[in-house]
Amino acid sequence: MKDFQTLIWLDKCSRLFERFNIDYTALRCILQMKFTMDARRVPTVFHDHKPKEGNQFLKSLWMYALISLMLIPFIVIGDAYFYQMSFMFSVLMFVAMLTMISDFSTVLLDVRDKTMLNTKPVNNRTITAAKAIHVMIYMSFVVGTLTVIPLLVGLFHHGIIFFLLFLIEIIFVSFFILIFTALIYLFVLRFFDGEKLRDMINYMQILLSFSIFIGYQLVARSFQFMDFQFSYTFEWWQLLIPPMWYGALYEMVLHQQWDVSLFVLSLLGLIIPIIAFIIYLKCIPSFERNMEKLMAESKGQRSKGRIAAFLATIVSKNRTERAFYQFANRMMNSEREFKLKVYPSIGMTLVIPFLFFFNEFSGESTFDLANSMFYMSIYFTLLTVPVGVSMIRFSAKYEGGWIYRVAPIQQKRDIYTATLKAILIKLFVPIFLLESVIFVMIFSSRIIFSLIIIALTAPIIAVITYLMIHGRRLPFTESYQGQQQSAMLVFPAMLFLGVFAMFHIILTNLNYGEWIYLFVLLIGNVIVWRLAFLRV
C-alpha cells in the first residue's frame, strides 16, 4: 500500500493520540487501508463505472471545485449579506450533505469492520478514533475544495473580516453536516432495517446526480428574477433554517447591526452543532447495536405487486411473456445500480421540456405561449426510453443470467418484448402522463391529438434502440463493469428523436397530415413489434 501524504501530516500528531490512549500505529494502519480502498471507489459525482487508474477520490475533487463556481455569484452580487450568504450556505450544505450520505455511507456503515477489526488486538477507542478521523479527513477534502475558490473571491471582494468569518463558519457548518448525517443514519437504523437504509442511500445518490444538473440550470437562470437589494427583516421561521443561522453572522458583524435576532440566529449556528454532537456521543452505543441490522437479513414484506400483476395480465396473454414482464419490472425496482444510472436522467427529461420555453416565457410578456408549437418539446420525455433501454442489459447480479439458458423457453422473443413493455410502462408512461397533464393545462386540449401521436412513437423507439444498443443480447446478463456511460448514448438518441419530431412538425402543417402520420405509426408499431426479435 502506498503511503498517503495525509498520513505523513497526521504522523506529526502521533503524540497527541498516544496521550488519549489511542494506539497510533494501529490507527495509521487502519486509515492507510481505508484510504487505499477509497482511492478505488468511484464517487457518485462521476457517475461512470469504467475501472480507472489513479486515485478516484482525488480526481473527483475537481468536480467539487467546479460546483463551487456556482457559489461565487452569491458572494459577489451585492452586500445584502444575510440573504446572499444564507443562499450560499444552503447550496454548500446541500451538496456537502448529499455527498456525505451518498459516498461516505460506505465508511460509516462498513459492516465488515466489526469482524475484521474488533477481532484484532486493537482497542475500541482506536477503532472509533480511526473512523472519526477518516470521516473528518474526507469531509475536509470535500468542503475544502468546495470553498477554496469562494473563500478567495470573498477575500478579494469583501476583505479580510469576511474571509475570517467565512473560514470559522465553514468549520462549524462541516461539523453540523457531519453530525447531522450521522444522526440521520441513527434515526433510520433505529426504526427501519438495513435494506431500507441502503434504499435511502440509493435515493440520495440519485438526488445528488440529478440536482447537480438541475442546480446549474436553475442557479444560472434564477439571477434574472432575484433581487438582492432588500435589507434584513426578522421572521420567526428563520430560526428553523440552518443556513440562515450562518448568514446572520455576516449581517451582524459586517453591517454592524447588533440586533438581538441576528445574535440569536448566529448563536444557534454555534450551539446546535455542539448539542447535536453531545446527542451523537450518547447515541453511539445504540448505533453500534443497530448496525447489526445491516448484517441481518431483512424480514421483507410480501411485495404489494397487485397493480403490477394486473398490468401484467393486460400486457400479455402469453404466460412466458407475462413472467418476464414481471421479472423485468421487479429487477428495475430492486436493482440499485440501475436506478442510480437511469433515474437522474429520467428526472432531467421531466424538466428539459420546460427549459425550452422558459426563456421565451420570461422574456416577452406578450408572447402567446398557449398557441405556440412549444408543446413539441414534450418529445424530450421520449428520452426515458433509450435511457432505460441502454442500461437494461446490465445487472449487479448478472451471474443469475444462466436461468435464461437453462429454462425451456419456446420463443426467445418473449423475453425481449416483455422487457421492453416493462420499460415503457414503468419509465415512460408515468413521466409522459404527468407531463401531458401539465402541458394540456398550459397549451389547452388542442394538443391531445398530437400527444397521442407522440406516445405512439415510444414503442417503436424502444425496439429500435434495443436492437441498436444491445442487438440480440439478453437483459440483465452482463456486469456494469466497463460498460458505456448512459449519457454517451443519449446524444445519438436525441438526434434520432429529433428526426421523429421534425416529421411530426412538418406534417402538422399539412391537411390531414397528423391523421396520416397516426396511421403510419400504427402500422409501424405492428410491423416493428411483429418482426423484431423474430429470428432469435
Partner 1 sequence: MLNGIYLDVHQGEIIGYIGPNGAGKSTTVKIMLGLIEDFKGEVEIFGQTVRTNDPSYKRRIGYVPENAEIYDNLTAAEYLAFVGSLYGMDESQIATKAQQLVELFDLEDVYHSRISSFSKGMRQKVLIIASLLHNPDLLFLDEPLAGLDANSVMIVKEVMAQLVEQGKTIFYSSHIMDVVEKISDRIVLIADGEIIADGSFEELQAQNEEGTLEEIFNQLTGFDQHEQIASSIVKAVQDGERQ
Candidate list 33, 61, 183, 323; residue touching partner 1; CB under 8 A: 33
Nearer to partner 1, 40 or 446 (CB): 40
Nearest to 266 by CA among 284, 254, 283: 254
The piece of 109-117, 160-168, 341-349, 421-429 that touches partner 1 (CB under 8 A) is 109-117
Binding residue for partner 1, selected from 122, 455, 461, 521, defined by CB under 8 A: 122
Site string for partner 1, 220-259 (x = CB under 8 A): ----------------------------------------
Fill in the amino acid letter for 450.
S
Cα–Cα distance, 196 to 199 (Å, whole number): 5
Q: In the set 69, 118, 298, 492, which binds partner 1 (CB under 8 A)?
A: 118
Q: If we measure between CA atoms, which residue out of 185, 189, 169 comes closest to residue 272?
A: 169
Question: Does 26 participate in binding partner 1 (rule CB under 8 A)?
Answer: yes
Rounded-to-integer distance, Cα 24 and Cα 28, Å: 6
Whole-number Å distance between alpha carbons of 466 and 201: 30
CB 34 → partner 1: shortest distance, Å?
9
Nearest approach, Cβ of residue 51 and partner 1 (Å):
10
Crossing angle of the two packed helices 429-443 and 448-470, in degrees rounded to 10:
150
Asked if 121 touches partner 1 (CB under 8 A), the answer is yes
Minimum Å distance from CB 111 to partner 1?
A: 8
Instruction: Give the residue from 323, 456, 342 showing the smallest Cα distance to 393.
Output: 342
Provide, rounded to whole angstroms, the least separation between the CB of residue 253 and partner 1.
46
Give the whole-angstrom CA distance, residue 259 versus residue 293: 48
Which C-beta is closer to partner 1: that of 227 or that of 399?
399
Which H or E run includes 72? helix 72-76
Instruction: Tell me if 40 contacts partner 1 by CB under 8 A.
Output: yes
- CB count in 10 Å sphere of residue 417: 23
CA atoms lying within 13 Å on the CB side of residue 348: 22
Query: Quick check: 42 and 56 in contact, CB under 8 A?
Result: yes
Q: How far is the CB of 21 from partner 1 (least distance, A)?
A: 9
Q: Which residues of 236-253 are buried (b: 16+ CB within 10 A; e: fewer)?
A: eebeeebbbbbbbbbbbb
- Least separation in angstroms between residue 447's CB and partner 1 is 52
In whole angstroms, give the CA distance from residue 486 to residue 517: 30
229 to each of 70, 150, 438, how far by Cα in Å?
Answer: 20, 21, 34
User: Which residue type, as a one-letter code, is found at position 274?
Assistant: I
From the list 7, 48, 114, 163, which residue makes contact with partner 1 (rule: CB under 8 A)? 114
The helix/strand/coil state of 394 is strand
| 42 vs 276, beta carbon nearer partner 1 | 42
Q: Are 424 and 462 in contact (CB under 8 A)?
A: yes
Q: Which is nearer to partner 1, 49 or 426 (CB)?
A: 49
CA angle 401/201/420 to nearest 5° reads 35
User: Does 29 participate in binding partner 1 (rule CB under 8 A)?
Assistant: yes
Is 30 a residue that touches partner 1 (CB under 8 A)? yes
Which contiguous run of DSSP H or E holds residue 146? helix 124-158
Q: Return the number of the residue (54 or 121) whose C-beta is nearest partner 1.
A: 121
Give 29 or 528: the residue with its C-beta nearer to partner 1. 29
Residue in this structure with the C-alpha cell 395480465, named with its chain if needed: 313
Which amino acid is located at 452 in the chain? I
Rule CB under 8 A: choose which of 6, 7, 14, 32 binds partner 1: 32
Burial class (CB in 10 A: 0-12, 13-18, 19+), 260: exposed
Work out whether 50 is an interface residue with partner 1 (CB under 8 A).
no
Q: Which of 11, 16, 25, 510 binds partner 1 (CB under 8 A)?
A: 25
95 contributes a contact to partner 1 by CB under 8 A: no
Q: CB burial class (10 A; 0-12, 13-18, 19+) of residue 505?
A: middle
User: Among 13, 116, 220, 526, which residue sits at the site for partner 1 (rule: CB under 8 A)?
Assistant: 116
Determine, following the binding rule CB under 8 A, whether residue 58 of this chain makes contact with partner 1: no
One residue of 16, 36, 78, 371 binding partner 1 per CB under 8 A: 36
- Distance from C-alpha of 281 to C-alpha of 53, rounded to nearest angstrom: 38
Query: 120 or 446: whose CB is closer to partner 1?
Result: 120
Residue whose C-alpha cell reads 453531545 in the numeric block? 278
Contacting residues for 370 by C-beta, under 8 A, at least 6 apart:
442, 443, 444
Give the interface segment with partner 1, choosing from 110-118, 142-150, 238-246, 333-341 (CB under 8 A). 110-118
Q: Which of 5, 119, 410, 509 binds partner 1 (CB under 8 A)?
A: 119
Q: Taking the complex as a whole, how short is the minimal distance between the CB of residue 27 and partner 1, in angstroms?
A: 10
Distances (CA, A) of 87 to 222, 238, 244, 256, 492: 12, 13, 8, 21, 37
Does residue 196 interact with partner 1 by CB under 8 A? no
**Quick one: which segment of 65-73, 112-120, 360-368, 516-524 binds partner 1 (CB under 8 A)?**
112-120
Residue among 12, 15, 19, 112 that touches partner 1 (CB under 8 A): 112
Give the binding-site size for partner 1 (rule: CB under 8 A).
24
Candidates 50, 52, 120, 157; binder of partner 1 (CB under 8 A) is 120
Among 53, 54, 115, 233, binds partner 1 (CB under 8 A): 115
37, 323, 440, 520: which one binds partner 1 (CB under 8 A): 37
Among 92, 117, 139, 249, binds partner 1 (CB under 8 A): 117
Nearest-approach distance from CB 65 to partner 1, in angstroms:
26
Positions touching partner 1 (CB under 8 A) are 1, 25-26, 29-30, 32-33, 36-37, 40-41, 111-112, 114-124
